[in-house]
Amino acid sequence: SADQNRENSHFISERAHEFLVSCSRDTLLFTVCWNIVKTRRKLCNFLKSGGSQNCGTMNVEDLYWFAFTVVTIVSFFTFKLLTRHRRFFTARGVPHEKPHFLYGNLNAVLSGKVSPLEHVQEFYRKYDGERIFGFYNYLSPVFYIRDPELIRRLWVLQFDHFANHGYFLDESKDRILGNQLHLLKGDKWHQMRATLSPVFASRNVALMASLIQANSLDMVEYLKSSVDPELEFKGVTLKHVFNVIAGCAFGLELNTFRDESDRFCQIGSSLVYGNSPVQTLKTMCFYLFPKLMTRMGVQLMDAEQSTYFLNLLRNTISERDKTTANRPDVIQLLNRANKGELKLEKDDDPGYLQMKDFSKRKWSDEELVAQCVSFFGTGFEGLVNLLSFATLELAANQVVQNKLLAEIEQTLQKGSLTYESISQLTYLDMVVSETLRKWPAFPSSDRECSKDYQLNEDGLQLNFRKGDSVWVSVWALHRDERNFPEPDRFNPERFSEANKQTIRPFTYMPFGVGPRSCIGNRFAQLVAKITLVDLIRNFKLSPGSKLVQPIQLSKVSNGMEPEGGFWLQIQQR
């Protein structure tokens, strides 16, 4: 009706007026918006007449102007949206470098000039003397902490304000990946950590030594039968770690050196590497826009992977419950913990964090299998890197390799390798510690501010707000010469009994620190030690002809990947 049209016209005019006022600070935009209002009635009349109205009322020039205006306004507000965080650190009084509106402070990384880890290290050095600096990870502002004392305060003393990781997967939609321990938050994380603490206690990890060595000997036999004098050794460690995860986490006897066609191998590989371009795209989108992807209901883990791992868990537990067999793997221990059969006892390792209360909660199959699947997430890459870089450093440092061989021969004297004998190899422990110093399993450590916190310490005043991302570059911290002199030199003596007492607290954190530190760190180190003992006892490792020295990080890899690969010569002793 006429009255309704007048009412609609009045409403549109009011909205147009409000729009013009809101844009009046920008002269160009104001001019554009004013012309939209002038053109609106012409366009409406023209469309209502079905295009039959005289073009004197609505000519082609008006249509071009209208299109230009709409594009300009959309572009303006898109730009404003993308640059809304540009004053984030200025408002907080935090030193930072002005970001690009689209890719933040990552321009040198995206142009292939430097690796991501070394790029953050450049910022770490640039803001020498500052305790904290700002960094734009694409569109996301991140606080980076440089000061070890500040790490202690936020990661440990104020843990209740910085209790969570910033990763985001909705556990109600991604019922397996979203329920991994390192992704859980709040009370649920606390309860799951309490359940898992006895699973990864030293007594139970020790029981896995025989499983690990069985896989290690499979690797030794493969290397003895290999006709290639020179190998890209990461391919070897990938297969070995895959076998270890299959055996220790899922209770399977797998040998990928002989057969890679096993269903577990195929599903696990698709989980680690992605099984299609679509999966790769989803992973990238979750990294860049995690909340948007979750709101859209997108699941990172596909149905085939979820069904396989759930069936594997249920079938294994069903079979175990019918027998008295007690295989010391994670599935068995999780099943016992869920039934309340594992007790949280005082651990013999004072450096291992335990939760003070034991969770009585019963977990679903999805929540349990998520802890096994997490070996393919946080555990897989860290363990592969630890083994790959340890062998690389031993090959490049023959004096260290010979000293390690002498300790192994003297301690074991051709006897069997046990958890107790491993604990007697002090130089081996030094080698692994120095590898983790130079090539940390987790080169970055993050926290998300879970509730507002006002920092006021030694003249530094800063308000952290809920949702703020706070990171530590472990890579840069470990390569700061004030913490570790000659940081690029591989020197296990830093971790001798006398020297490690002089290491400044919170400057060495390859597995993180505080309650959120990696719960599987002793398992990872045990795998590394057993594997290195079997390797050095049987082979002499030397740099391959294709190995790029000195070792440099690849500029096109997001992780720790040496330029040219891990090329080694393997000579049987």
CB 396 within 8 A of CB 543: yes
Burial of 226 by CB count in 10 Å (0-12 exposed, 13-18 middle, 19+ buried)?
A: middle
d(C-alpha 573, C-alpha 521), whole Å: 31
3-state secondary structure 234-270: HHHHHHHHHHHHHHHCCCCCCCCCCCCCCHHHHHHHH
| Location of structure tokens 């904290």 | 132
The alpha carbon torsion through 133, 151, 510, 565 (nearest 10 deg) reads 0
d(C-alpha 470, C-alpha 166), whole Å: 9
3-state secondary structure 448-497: ECCCCEEEEECCEEEEECCCCEEEEEHHHHHCCCCCCCCCCCCCHHHHCC
Peptide bond into 550 cis (omega under 30): yes
Q: In what order do the strands lie in the sheet with 469-473?
A: 132-137, 140-145, 469-473, 444-448
Residue 518 marked in a binding site: yes
| Location of structure tokens 């400057």 | 507
Cβ of 237: how many Cβ atoms within 10 Å? 22
Burial of 61 by CB count in 10 Å (0-12 exposed, 13-18 middle, 19+ buried)?
A: exposed
CB 478 within 8 A of CB 107: no
d(C-alpha 519, C-alpha 76), whole Å: 47
The string of DSSP codes covering 539-569 is: EEEEE-TT--SS--B-TT-SS--BTT--EEE
CB 131 within 8 A of CB 145: yes
CB 36 within 8 A of CB 65: no
CA 423 to chain centre: 29
The annotation places the binding site at 518
The annotation places the binding site for heme at 518
